[in-house]
């Protein structure tokens, strides 16, 4: 399975556990923690580029330039949520010590 096939088969009600299981079919997540610093930066660059491309696709499909909020109201900007587990990073936790357990459990408890 590749990422396009994943997108075509994903469901709105997929659980975080199912999301991670399907992602493991696309990407060997267990190997991510073994990347060197340089490889990790390239991985981040690729994922960031795909994220930006995905946002552009969402904008393209919302022809009026507004995206629905979770309660169905129209507003801008509103980025749709993810189905995968939440992984806390420096952008969300502030200056607290990082929790590296997602490198082992992929954000699942």
Q: What does the pLDDT average to over 41-61?
A: 88
The encoded tokens of residue 102 equal 């997602």
What is the domain range of residue 26?
3-105
pLDDT, one tens digit per residue, over 58-87 is 778 776 555 555 555 554 445 566 677 888
- Number of folded domains that form the chain: 1
**Poorest-pLDDT segment among 5-14, 18-27, 68-77, 85-94:** 68-77
Residue 40 has pLDDT above 90, yes or no: yes
- What pTM value is reported for the model? 0.71
């Amino acid at each position: 399975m590749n990422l396009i096939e994943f997108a075509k088969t994903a469901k709105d009600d997929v659980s975080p556990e199912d999301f991670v299981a399907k992602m493991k079919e696309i990407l060997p997540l267990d190997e991510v923690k073994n990347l060197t610093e340089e490889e990790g930066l390239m991985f981040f660059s690729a994922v960031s580029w795909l994220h930006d491309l995905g946002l552009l696709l969402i904008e393209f499909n919302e022809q009026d330039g507004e995206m629905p909020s979770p309660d169905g109201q129209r507003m801008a900007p509103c980025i749709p949520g993810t189905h995968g587990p939440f992984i806390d990073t420096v952008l969300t936790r502030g200056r607290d010590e990082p929790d590296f357990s997602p490198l082992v459990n992929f954000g699942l408890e």
